Amino acid sequence: MINFTVGPVQSDYEIRKLGLEQIPYFRTPEFSKVMAESEKLILKFLNAPENSRAVFLTASGTASMEASVINILNRKDKVLIVNGGTFGQRFVDICNIHEIPFDEIKLGLGKSLTAEHLKKYDGGGYTALLVNLHETSTGVLYDLDLIDKFCKKNNALLIVDAISAFLADDVDMGKYAVDAVITGSQKALACPPGVSVIALSERAQKRVFANAPKILYLDLKRALKDGERGQTPFTPAVGILLQINARLRQIDSLKHGAADEIKRVASLAKYFRKAIKGLPFETVPENPSNAVTCLRPLNISAYEIFTTLKDEYGIWVCPNGGDLKEIIFRVGHIGCLSFEDYDRLIAALKAVTGEKK
């Protein structure tokens, strides 16, 4: 079985081996030390300015999206949401549920956000912008430079869901004034699902402490306070956090750290994209993330490709849901994958699309 989905993705042997160990008790100086190191490494990989913090929540990425919105923002904010697919819509749903006023920029399938789109909202009194840097449902990567300029000009907070972009595309909290970066354990971190991470700028932390969220489990004040001593308010997914720490240390030991991991993911994406040229697929996004290639097959249903690859070739690609189920599918480039894995996938895709038996 080879897994080319966008999460959970394949973990390497060293990380999987840790899953065999007994789970240690965690209210100890030893575990606190591990957590402090993980926080430091996350912030390092994000090039986060001094006084930034990162918290680890035992919950999937969506919980960290929701926690970011309800802890940093409140009903007096006016939010702009970039909605280019399933995950943009999720921010819309979160703001609706929590009654946070917003406008949304709706983008067509795989379409990039442009200066033209943003122009309309310039000077509109927006206090925050929410974006999924890589809208994983279509593979489009938005232009952070453009978004950052808009936010700075409008003095708006910038909350970035980088759940699938972290360690696959460049996410730089130092270069850009990003107030919150969200990621999750099962994407490019390539660990089991169950933990998500929020890195917070000093400005975002101030908002968190000034706000009064009506929630206990996702209260970031508690997470930040306990995190100061390497602890979490509630029992975390201790085993996964140990795997995350090992994975972060692995990446840190690379010559150029996170940049090398991003390069590795990019090289897998490039290899695959080059090899499928000439196959009956249209590439969906204009500006694709390194993490995923989103394809529209021209002569066969996308869902049939997913099913045939799974049942006949032992290969998992990522199907889309809803209206797009038959139309597009995605091939991931994150996790423990090799060029040989792609050779197998490419041969299978050729066979399935009838290009070469």
> For ligand PLP, what does the binding mask look like between residues 83 and 112, x meaning CB under 6 A?
----x-------------------------
Name, in order, each residue with C-beta under 8 angstroms of 157's C-beta and a sequence gap of 6 or more: 72, 73, 127, 128, 129, 151, 179, 180, 203, 204, 207
* Opening angle at CA 243, ends 237 and 249, nearest 5: 135
For position 26 contacting ligand PLP by CB under 6 A, the verdict is no
CA distances in angstroms from 211 to 76, 198, 207, 228, listed in the order given: 11, 17, 6, 19
Report the residue from 66, 161, 170, 179 that binds ligand PLP according to the rule CB under 6 A.
161
CA-CA-CA-CA dihedral for 306, 112, 146, 131, to nearest 10? -50
Listing DSSP states for 20-83 in one string gives TSPPPP-SSHHHHHHHHHHHHHHHHHTTPPTT-EEEEESS-HHHHHHHHHHHH--TT--EEEEE
Name the burial class of residue 353, with classes exposed (0-12), middle (13-18) and buried (19+) by CB atoms within 10 angstroms of its CB. middle
For position 320 contacting ligand PLP by CB under 6 A, the verdict is no
Residue 129 CB, nearest distance to ligand PLP (Å)? 15
For position 308 contacting ligand PLP by CB under 6 A, the verdict is no
- Closer Cβ to ligand PLP, 66 or 179, answer by number: 66
- Closer Cβ to ligand PLP, 64 or 232, answer by number: 64
For position 132 contacting ligand PLP by CB under 6 A, the verdict is yes
Which of the stretches 33-41, 157-165, 242-250, 265-273 binds ligand PLP when contact is defined by CB under 6 A? 157-165
* Token reading at 210: 């000034």
For position 194 contacting ligand PLP by CB under 6 A, the verdict is no
In this structure, are strands 315-316 and 2-3 parallel, antiparallel, or unpaired?
parallel
Q: CA-to-CA distance for 191 and 245, rounded, in angstroms?
A: 10
Report the residue from 60, 74, 231, 250 that binds ligand PLP according to the rule CB under 6 A.
60
- Closer Cβ to ligand PLP, 84 or 227, answer by number: 84
- Closer Cβ to ligand PLP, 165 or 349, answer by number: 165
For position 61 contacting ligand PLP by CB under 6 A, the verdict is yes
Residue 292 CB, nearest distance to ligand PLP (Å)? 9
For position 184 contacting ligand PLP by CB under 6 A, the verdict is yes
Report the residue from 138, 164, 243, 320 that binds ligand PLP according to the rule CB under 6 A.
164
Report the residue from 7, 84, 230, 239 that binds ligand PLP according to the rule CB under 6 A.
7
Alpha helices in 189-294 (DSSP H): 202-210, 220-227, 238-252, 258-275
For position 71 contacting ligand PLP by CB under 6 A, the verdict is no
Residue 36 CB, nearest distance to ligand PLP (Å)? 24
Q: CA-to-CA distance for 308 and 293, rounded, in angstroms?
A: 19
Give the interface size with ligand PLP as a residue count (CB under 6 A): 12
Q: Tokens 């897994």 appear where?
A: 3
Chain contacts with ligand PLP (rule: CB under 6 A): 7, 60-62, 87, 132, 134, 136, 161, 163-164, 184
